[in-house]
Structure 1
Amino acid sequence: MSAILPPSERLWWKEPIAKTEWLWIAIAFVWGMIMFVMMIYWHIYGKQNLSNEAYKTTPEAFAAKAEKFIAENTIRKETDQEIPVVKVPAGGDGYLIARLWNWYPILELEKGKEYKIHLSSMDYNHGFSLQPVNINIQVVPGYEHVVKMTPTSTGTFAIVCNEFCGIGHHSMLGRIYVK
């Protein structure tokens, strides 16, 4: 039998399965079970998957909370678009809005303090990828994602959208400053 030509027997699925095929099926099944167990293990002990919270919300309700937070905590404005830089209170909650094609506002955090960063999208699915740290969250409209983070080093960290969101996706960048 050839892969190009049709099978010589019209009812090929009624043919018995060869021993080597059963061996490959068994190997694939065992490997699948190993990976299933390892996914649970990596989630609990691997420290690469965040256990975050998510709540149902509306874009309007989240935007209202975020705008209140921004109004109360803005310390300066940056860039030619006058994006506010907001100092998140130590141990407090910070809000980031994802929308075509920006992250709003810029957050300023302190090294060694724990924060809860609330993320939500106003329009489409966006990806929150904090570089060079390996934090990666899919931000979905209608949900408020809460990520707990404790910065361990100072510097400027880039927020990159890694979920294609349209023609301006390549310019959807944000920042977090850690002092």
Structure 2
Amino acid sequence: MAIFPPTKRVWWNEPVEKSEVLWIFIALIWALVMFFMMPYWHINGSQNLSNEAYRIRPEVFAKRTEEMAAKYKVGEEGDTGVPVVRPPAGSDVYMLGRLWEWWPVLELEKGQSYRLHLSSMDWMHGFSLQPENINLEIHPGYDMVLTVTPTSSGEFSVVCNEFCGIGHHTMVGKIHVVDK
């Protein structure tokens, strides 16, 4: 019960002020503009990734990732022993997240397209590609697929931006983009 109940109990039958009608109309028009702009921004704005997601058992994804790493390994990253993998352009590239690493290190060619497959082996992890500001949630049991075409060369960091446990702050990976 309200402290001071309205004097007229049926308030919705009261006339609406003209200024309120104007603001409701403006809000409705703005909502419609934003609604119809969403497909435009997605297609022409280049800020939203078009990705796919498929169910997959973590052990199957791990096997595919390990096979790709063994087939296209070109070296190891520092003293960590993490393989550096250089798959051919246009191929399927796999990167998995697990406590507390992104594995393996990828070496991609600038200007070439790849189908990047991402999945988690244990918990939900965040895939944040810096400094490009690409952010995805990576769930165990799902193969997140996106087509990437690197436009600049350099070293890019993959950071987990979803808290995943005590070693979360150390969960980083790398993607090297090289010129042809």
Q: Output the TM-score relative to the length of structure 1.
A: 0.85
Q: Deviations over 1:134-168 (max 9, x none)?
A: 42222122111111112222210111222232333
**What is the match of residue 131 of structure 2?**
132
Judge which range, 103-112 or 76-85, deviates more. Answer: 76-85
**What is the match of residue 7 of structure 1?**
4
Residue 169 of structure 1 deviates from its aligned partner by 2.4
Give me the identity figure in percent.
Answer: 53
In structure 2, what is the Cα distance between the partners aligned to 1:60 and 1:109? 25
Gaps of at least 5 residues in structure 2 are: none
Matched letter for residue 57 of structure 1 = I
Gaps of at least 5 residues in structure 1 are: none
**What is the match of residue 119 of structure 1?**
118
In structure 2, what is the Cα distance between the partners aligned to 1:164 and 1:39? 30
**Alpha carbons of 1:108 and 1:156: their partners in 2 closer, same or farther (altered >3 Å)?**
same
Residue 64 of structure 1 deviates from its aligned partner by 1.0
In structure 2, what is the Cα distance between the partners aligned to 1:141 and 1:17? 55
Q: Deviations over 1:70-121 (max 9, x none)?
A: 1112121224432111111222111100122211110011122211111111
Match runs of 1:151-166 below 5 Å? 151-166=150-165
**Alpha carbons of 1:11 and 1:172: their partners in 2 closer, same or farther (altered >3 Å)?**
farther
In structure 2, what is the Cα distance between the partners aligned to 1:72 and 1:81? 19
**What is the match of residue 103 of structure 1?**
102
**Alpha carbons of 1:8 and 1:153: their partners in 2 closer, same or farther (altered >3 Å)?**
same
Q: Output the TM-score relative to the length of structure 2.
A: 0.85
Pairwise CA RMSD: 2.2
**What is the match of residue 146 of structure 1?**
145
In structure 1, what is the Cα distance between the partners aligned to 2:31 and 2:96? 38
Secondary structure at the residue paired with 2:158?
Answer: strand
Aligned length: 175
